[in-house]
Copies of this chain bind each other. A is one copy, B any other.
Amino acid sequence: MKAAIFKGRNTIEVGERPDPQIQEPTDAVVRVVRGCVCGSDLWYYRGINQHKVGSIGHEYIGVIEAVGADVTTVAVGDFVIAPFTYNDGTCPACRDGFQSNCVHGGAFGNGDVDGGQGETVRAPFADATLVKVPGTEGDFTDEQLASFTALSDVMCTGYHAAVSAGVKEGDTVAVVGDGAVGLSAVLAARMLGASRVIALSRNPARQVVAKEFGATDIVEARGDDAVQEVLRVTDDAGVDAALECVGTDQSIQTCAGIVRAGGMIGAVGVPLYEEFEYQTLFWKNVGIKGGVAPARQYIPELLEDVLAGRINPGRVFDFTTDLDHVADAYAAMDERRAIKSLLTITR
């Protein structure tokens, strides 16, 4: 099959991979319809984080082509959304709704299991992992297909920031980070009832999406200036929740500076910082929670919102190409010409 191949820093090429096969009776093989590029893929691309040479990508939707003997709840021909991590559905973490911490789970695209930037993927624990979309590919608009793809990771990750911070009716929330996750977090905060959402962004295109997603305020400053500006617009009260969607020292310090006493930081930016001055939070009674989003837990409810037309998370995709041009998809994001790149994949 044809697939994107990560060959090292700044090098993504289209190449050949063995066709994925059923290996375990709980597997399914999925023909990919849409894939996309994640902000974390960019970190591999830029050489900031390590990635194996080979298959890449962990977000996809597609049609099941084969299932193992033990698969019972999904079937050949089903149109499905894959969360970016697979999970067995039975371990304590899965039962608690944290499938991304499944003891037998793993992530697509950076190891033994092929990624979503290719024609076909083997999905382990298909019953527990895949979420069926009612209908077939042809029943949906491109906009809907983009939104289904967003549920594979980015929308669920933004949602996880807001859920982890306990965002509730009437809250004032700030979102630090205007990438696709940050924008999704703006939408998520509004879904959970925030009456005011302050988006930190100095990029006009991203500001537009932030406002579409419900941001009530835009703050263009960064670092200490951003802290002062958020405090100013909240009459020195600070925000009930800060959603950390970057993962750098500066972004976490910004969050710590703008949260009110007793507030929460919802943290989903993969931490690039080694250590963290928890004392700053302790003396303010501020909490921090987050991590790798249990997308599998959120997809069913968010899918209902997409199908009902209440949310349009696929709006974060502003660059679309095909698998042959996957290198362009990376370059557009790397050069910040695109918020997030969608891949239309046909075989």
Could you tell me which A residues sit within 8 Å of B by CB distance?
Answer: 92-93, 96-98, 100-101, 164, 236-238, 260-262, 264, 267, 270-271, 273-279, 281-292, 294
Contact = CB atoms under 8 A, between A and B. Distances in A.
A262 B292 contact: no
Given A236-B92, A290-B287, A271 B260 contact: no
A164 B273 CA distance: 25
A260 B290 contact: no
Nearest to A289: B287
17 contacts: A92-B237, A93-B260, A93-B262, A96-B261, A101-B261, A101-B284, A164-B285, A164-B287, A262-B294, A264-B289, A275-B276, A281-B291, A282-B290, A282-B292, A284-B291, A286-B291, A287-B287
B278 A285 contact: no
Contacts of A277: 274-276
Contacts of A288: 278, 281, 287-289
A236 B152 CA distance: 29
A209 B48 CA distance: 52
Contacts of A289: 264, 285-289
Pairs of residues from A and B, 3 with the lowest C-beta to C-beta distance, nearest first:
A287-B289, A101-B261, A285-B291
B286 A279 contact: no
Contact of A285 (B100, B260, B273, B286): B100
Contacts of A238: 92
Contacts of A279: 271, 274
A263 B236 CA distance: 31
A201 to B, nearest CB: 24
A20 B241 CA distance: 41
B282 A97 contact: no
A270 B289 CA distance: 19
